[in-house]
Every structure is written in C-alpha cells, then in structure tokens.
Amino acid sequence: MTDRSYWTSRLGRRGLLRGGALLSAGVGAAALIGCGGDDEGDGDGGSSGSPAASDGSGATSPAPSGAAQGDHYGGTYRRFTTLIESNFDVYMTQGSSDLFSHISERLLRIDPSTLELQPGLISEWEEIEAGMEYVLHIHPEAVWENKAPTNGRAFDAEDVVWNILYAGEYEGPEHTAQRASWYFGIENAEAVDDKTVRLTLSEPNGPVLAAMADHRQHMVPKEVPESYGWDNYPNFPAIGPFRMTSYDPGTVGTFERNPDYVLTGANGDALPYFDGVELNWFGDNASAYAAFLTDQLDVMPVTPSDAKDLDDESGVTVYRLPFRGTQLQVLNTERYADVRVRKAFHNLLDYQDIGENVHLGDYKWSGKINQQYPYVMKEDEVRVLPGFNPDTREADVAEAFKLLDAAGFPEGAGLVFNNVSSATTGNAFDWQIRIQGQLAQVAPAIEYNTNTPTDGPSFQRALLAGEHDCITHQSYDGPETRLAIQAFATGHSRNWSKYSNPTVDELVARSMAESGEQLGETIAELEAILMEDHPWFGLGIVPALAARDRVQGIDRGGWEGASGNDSKIVSQYYWFTEDA
C-alpha cells in the first residue's frame, strides 16, 4: 500500500462506465444469496408481490392484511421533527434522510440483530468474487410514483447505478456525500439490462453491499439533480411506503400509503400498516414532548430523565433498544497534533459522571468502536482502562498533568478548546456543558468554550471541511463493523478528527477482504492502537423511545427503531392495536 491513503485516491475518478455489456456465462453459475423470506419477522420478509397497483388517480389502496389477528390496521401515525431543511440532498444531510424515509427506500435492508443482509429494492444478489464483483437484481415490480419526472416508470438499473455513483462521489455535479468513502474502489457500475446491475471493484471492499443497507442511503430518481432539483422535496416521486400529500415546512407534512410499495412485512404482509403519516413541526423538543404528553403524538424520542418519568406512565411504553451509536467528544488532530494532549484530555474526563448525570445510567462503556459490533472490546474490558476506570481516577488525573507538562502546557495553561455541539439541545449539547464544568473544576487553566450551530446543514458542512477545534456529536455508525472502522482511515469522509496513522490505514484496508476469525484478529489489533492515540472519546448510547401503547412493532426495529430520531425508517413496520 502506498503512503497515500486509498480513501482519498479512490475519489479521483469521476464519470465511470455505465455500459450495457452482457454478463459472462460464469455469472449464471454463481451462488445466489440474499433471496427468500425473513424467518425472524424483523425485516422485509421477502421480495415478491405488491399491494394493489395504482391507476395514477391518487386513490388509496385497500388496507393491507395484519400481522396479528385482532390488531387494527390503518389510521394516521403522528410523529414530529424540529428540523427545517434547507438542503434536501439525502446523501449529505441527516435531516433529509429522515424525510426521505417516508417516500423512499434502500437497495438492501439489514437484520438489526444478526446484521445479515435482507432484500430491499434489490430482491436478489450474487457474489461473484467476495468484495470484488457483485450482480444485483432489481425487484421486478418496483415502480416510481406516477408524477413528474418519473411518471410511474419502473425503478431500473440506471437508477441504481446513478445512486451508487452519486453516493460515492464518482458522478454528478460537485457535491459532498457524508458516506462517500463507504463506496471506495468501485471500478465499474453498469446496467446490464433494465433490472440488472453488475458492480466491479478494483480492490476489496467487502462491506459495500452493507453500505447500501444503511438507513441513510435512500434511492432518488436518476433525473436528480440535473433535471429535478434537490430543493423540490415536496414534489419528489415516491418509491417508499408512503407518498406525500402536503408539505408545509414549519407546520405539518402529510403522507398517505403508497399503493405501489413492493416490500412486505412478516408473513408476507403488505406494507405499510398505517393509512398515512402526519409529520408535525415543533420549535424545540420540549414543545414536542408536551404534545406527546397530551396525546398529540404517537411516538417521541425522550431524554433519559423523561424516560424515567414515563416508565410508570399509564398508556405509554418506553423502549430502550440496542443501538450502534456513540456520543462523542472529537478533537481535530490538525489543531491538537500532540498525542500527549489527547491522552491528557481523555484522562481528565469523568466518563462515569457524564454517563450518570447526562444519560442517567442509560449508557454503555465503549471503546473507539461501539461495543454493539462483533469482534470489539466489550464493556467490562473498557471500564477498567485508564481514563475510564472510576477507581483509578485520581491517578489518571495526575498522569494527565504530567502529560500536559511534558507537552508544554503546565497544568493545562495555554490550552484552548472551542467546541461546537451538533445540536442546541440533547446529549451533544449537554456533553459540552458537562465537560466544560468538569475541566473548570479539575483543570481550571484549560479554556473550554461551548458553541452551537446555526442549523444542521451548516454544522455538517463545517464538520466535513474540518473547520472545528472539537465537536460533541452523536455518531450513528453503519450496519457493519468494517463500515464503522473505515472512519479511522486517513482521508475517509467520516474521519472528523482528521486522524492519520499509516498502521491503522493498513489494518483497515486489510480487513476489507477478511471475515470471521481473521477479521476478529485484525479488529483487535486495530482497536489496541486506537485506544492509545485516537482523538475521539465517547460512551455507547441507549436511546429511549416512548410510544403510546396502541403503537406496536417497535421492538422489531432494533437499532434503527431506537435511533433517537423518532423511529424513522421503520415506521412502515408499525401498526395500531386500536383506532387512532
């Protein structure tokens, strides 16, 4: 491997071949994987059939069959957002992926418990050579909504090719895609025919299909953005579980069941179960919470404090589900290059204090790689390490001051951290306030300043450009261990700390072609290095989701259902047990 990271070099080639060459005879003999139903009932449950076809008149389809006898199907699911997006590029901003979850769909899905791939708009797929070549078969009945610019046409291979190449920053106008590096190494993405795509890579990228299953990778028509702008979200044609009926940012958006949605639920049930969704805007989370308490909303992500208050609330259930996400304090290595400063910062933090007072005990001790993933350090291993261990705090703080003295900052004098929180409320905001208070008490010579962004897109742009000293931010990692660890590689689009370590780059690259025991050994070697010098520090989060008891199916959603963002993505799997 050369000194230059392959995460950056792979982005130098745009405008890949998009030909129509026929598959070789060898493809037909490849083992078919990823087809069939879902025995556990957590996912889509298959790839054949669809609800009654739309005639383009806008009439709603008949109510789908239920997942369990006696439950009610239909009704309007009421949820909320505080975001008013100014940029609807789904591959750039988190907020737009939330909105697109209603009207769009992913190529693949993933079982939240086993991390096994499941069918999405890709109904079957073939692995010709692991990490190097794949053949993707598009659901034969997937169609776009009958409105401009798609006008009811089939979802086709050109749509798939365009989205993959745009998501990887290979094609399209200059843009920034948050997870572009997940698609590294793509040499060719070609439409073999209307319903078949062949994907070939120049170097192993074993988790590339898992990248397509991430809950932020929603399909948009190939007409975007050249002939249909990103700013026209209210008129985007649907291919997901719902289609839009009205959109008034800052007030309400409404969606109705998409009669042409092709994915199915447990036992082959037609989806979605709801007749529609009502998306209500609130100025802040406190106003939304007040609306939930008065039964104006069906589901509400809640703070640890509110979750404990609601545990005994009649008619409400609080879900705390496993989630591959971490609340982080991230230092920019371009501003804090001396590893002694970073180690000292880590030792000065009181993680238990943050966990008990910000998260009120709903947290996980987690290393640099979230402990929900396979192969990584688990809670009992992390908790006893220097900096984490509450029993060695006095010694760890003393060691921090030795490191600061050696780095030229006696007792921290001269060190300034201008932190930016990713939000104006919630865990990210509370972390910076708590850390500021901790440092003021234990190392008052250190200056730690708190700041909040003007809006989500501006924070994302500054983050990707590295225009920050340090940030507090919730990281919702990808649906596969190897996607998560890519963020530690030089030049990766998710490497917010601008960290660079050639040995880490080698290990990450090596893992892309590994699996099983071999992958586990590489992950262990990688994490040992990261624990010594990587500049982000965090705790695993256990987000709480409060729901009215009439809402069922949330426990099927796993880490996506409890994402902390109002159960986005999986609401098509929920149903009511009574009229709402």
Confidence (pLDDT) at 113: 67
* Tokens (6 digits) for 490: 């030089």
Neighbours of 309 (CB within 10 A): 15
Domains in the chain: ranges and CATH: 1-20+85-231 (3.90.76.10), 325-541 (3.10.105.10)
Confidence (pLDDT) at 121: 98
Angle at 462 between CA 458 and CA 466, to 5 degrees: 170
Confidence (pLDDT) at 567: 38
Strand 536-541 relative to strand 325-331, pairing: antiparallel
In whole angstroms, give the CA distance from residue 208 to residue 125.
Answer: 13
Length of the chain: 580
Nearest to 260 by CA among 110, 147, 356, 360: 147
Confidence (pLDDT) at 173: 72
- Note every long-range contact of 70-73, with CB atoms under 8 Å and residues 24 or more positions apart, other chains counting: 70/577, 71/552, 71/575, 71/576, 71/577, 72/575, 72/576, 72/577, 72/578, 72/579, 73/273, 73/274, 73/575, 73/576
Confidence (pLDDT) at 278: 94
Strand 32-33 relative to strand 242-248, pairing: unpaired
Q: Which residues contact 259 (CB under 8 A, 6 or more apart)?
A: 51, 52, 53, 54, 59, 60, 61
Q: Mean pLDDT per segment of 10 residues, for the chain of length 580 residues?
A: 34 35 30 31 28 30 43 84 78 76 91 81 97 98 96 97 93 78 95 98 96 90 83 88 92 94 84 92 91 94 90 91 82 96 97 95 90 89 96 98 98 96 87 97 98 76 79 85 93 89 97 95 96 93 88 64 39 74
N-terminal to C-terminal alpha carbon distance within the chain: 59
Question: Are 136 and 160 contacting, i.e. CB atoms less than 8 angstroms apart?
Answer: yes
Please write the tens of the pLDDT for every residue from 18-74. 333 333 223 332 333 333 222 322 222 222 222 232 323 233 333 344 444 446 678
Confidence (pLDDT) at 177: 82
